[in-house]
Amino acid sequence: MSHTIHGDGAIRRTSLYGSSIENTYGGVLSFMRRNYTRDLSGVDVAVSGIPLDLAVTFRPGARLGPAAVRAASVQLAELKPFPWGFDPFDDLAVIDYGDCWFDAHNPLTIKDSIIEHARTILASGARMLTFGGDHYVTYPLLIAHAEKFGKPLSIIHFDAHCDTWPDDSPDSLNHGTMFYKAVKDGLIDPQTSVQVGLRTWNDDFMGIQRLDAPWVHDNGTEAAIARIKEVVGDNPTYLTFDIDCLDPAFAPGTGTPVPGGLTTAQALKIVRNLGDVNLVGMDVVEVSPPFDQSEITALAAAHIACDLLCLLRNRKVAGTL
């Protein structure tokens, strides 16, 4: 930037790089004050939201998640992120692309709308960081990512739920069946995919490797990090983080909370140590603001998303993005 921008950098900044000085409590609420734009020229990562909660099986409200995560990111835009000690936007060109538009009153068109939204971004060469919305949104995102990067992909899936319950209807909207479909469709390879934090039962986990919440508590985060890297290897990997992976004490604002989950500190440590993973796409989903307390769920989601961007910044600087 040729000069320091004071306020509303999201709509006043002319460069894709650098940060601006903002009043934390004011201004345009893009994610971490990134430029609001649909211009994908030169973009490394496009942040966008998918405000969908028509696929939930219990509590709604995740349609408000993208706005809440953006609002919770204001403090992250003030200082260099901890523990990284750098401004990721000095090196990584990140925009806020806004939200995917879909016709909520015509549900059978929603999947294709999300796929086209993702195709447009991925065709530019940019990576995606997406905010849900309920977890169904990961299924059409995986379709677009598998088209771009080749299938099957590996996934790293943080969740309380395995989301592999049977569902052979191609048109159903269900946030508990996406990975059943993804395995059946050949979008993901279960043997090189891993689920972290599970604490619900399914008779068929579709062969996906599992580090359930008790395993993480008993074996520790270092063992979890090592096992995740061992499972996914160098494969193109999609990371999806359902915020209900966290215990309800740390993430009450979600649709299907389950006791016994990871702490925020455990999750952040694991995510921050995935720098060797070949991440081709990422999402953070299931933040439901009506059930949140003091924004702690949205804050956790925003910090996880920030750390994911820092991982990609390091890969770009190393020439491996």
Q: Which two tokens stand for residue 302?
A: 């925003």
Q: Work out the angle at residue 68's Cα, subtended by the Cα atoms of residues 62 and 71, and round it to the nearest 5 degrees.
A: 170
Is 191 strand, coil or helix?
Answer: helix
In a domain, 2, yes or no: no
Instruction: Count Cβ neighbours within 10 Å for each residue of 111-128 and write b for 16 or more, e otherwise.
Output: bebbbebbebbbeeebbb
138-166 tens-digit pLDDT:
999 999 999 999 999 999 999 999 999 99
Tell me which residue range forms the domain holding 83.
Answer: 9-318
Residue 5's contacts (CB-CB under 8 Å, 6 or more residues apart) are: 12, 13, 20, 21
β-bridge pairing 127-132 and 45-50 = parallel
Cα–Cα dist 27/283, whole Å: 25
The annotated binding site is made up of: 135, 159, 161, 163, 242, 244
Q: Which two tokens stand for residue 40?
A: 């994908």
| Burial label, 103 (beta-carbon count in 10 A; 0-12, 13-18, 19+) | exposed
Which amino acid makes up residue 3? H
Residue 221's contacts (CB-CB under 8 Å, 6 or more residues apart) are: 266, 269, 270, 273
> Is the pLDDT assigned to residue 282 strictly greater than 80?
yes
179-220 tens-digit pLDDT:
999 999 999 999 999 999 999 999 999 999 999 999 999 999
Alpha helices in the chain (DSSP H): 9-12, 65-72, 110-123, 138-149, 178-184, 213-219, 221-232, 264-272, 296-317
Place of tokens 């995510």: 271
Residues of the chain above pLDDT 70, percent: 99
The annotated binding site for Mn(2+) is made up of: 135, 159, 161, 163, 242, 244
Number of domains in the chain: 1
In a domain, 42, yes or no: yes
pLDDT band for position 4 (cuts 50, 70, 90): confident
In a domain, 260, yes or no: yes
Q: In what order do the strands lie in the sheet with 94-99?
A: 35-36, 94-99, 45-50, 127-132, 279-285, 237-242, 154-158, 194-196, 209-211
Q: Which two tokens stand for residue 209?
A: 């490797």
pLDDT band for position 281 (cuts 50, 70, 90): very high
Cα radius of gyration rounded to whole Å, the chain: 18
In a domain, 30, yes or no: yes
**pTM exceeding the 0.85 threshold for the entire prediction:** yes
In a domain, 164, yes or no: yes
Q: Which two tokens stand for residue 83?
A: 């523990």
Which residue, among 143, 158, 118, has the nearest Cα to 307 in the 3D structure? 158
In a domain, 115, yes or no: yes
Element holding 299 (H helix, E strand)? helix 296-317
Which residue, among 181, 301, 182, has the nearest Cα to 244 in the 3D structure? 301
Cα–Cα dist 73/51, whole Å: 17
- Cβ atoms of residues 179 and 163 within 8 Å: yes
In a domain, 3, yes or no: no
> Is the pLDDT assigned to residue 2 strictly greater than 90?
no
Residue 19's contacts (CB-CB under 8 Å, 6 or more residues apart) are: 9, 33, 77, 87, 89
- Mean pLDDT (the chain, rounded): 96
Element holding 196 (H helix, E strand)? strand 194-196
Which residue, among 84, 86, 99, has the nearest Cα to 38 in the 3D structure? 99
Residue 66's contacts (CB-CB under 8 Å, 6 or more residues apart) are: 48, 49, 50, 51, 99, 131, 132, 133
> Which CATH number characterizes residue 95's domain?
3.40.800.10
221-235 tens-digit pLDDT:
999 999 999 999 999
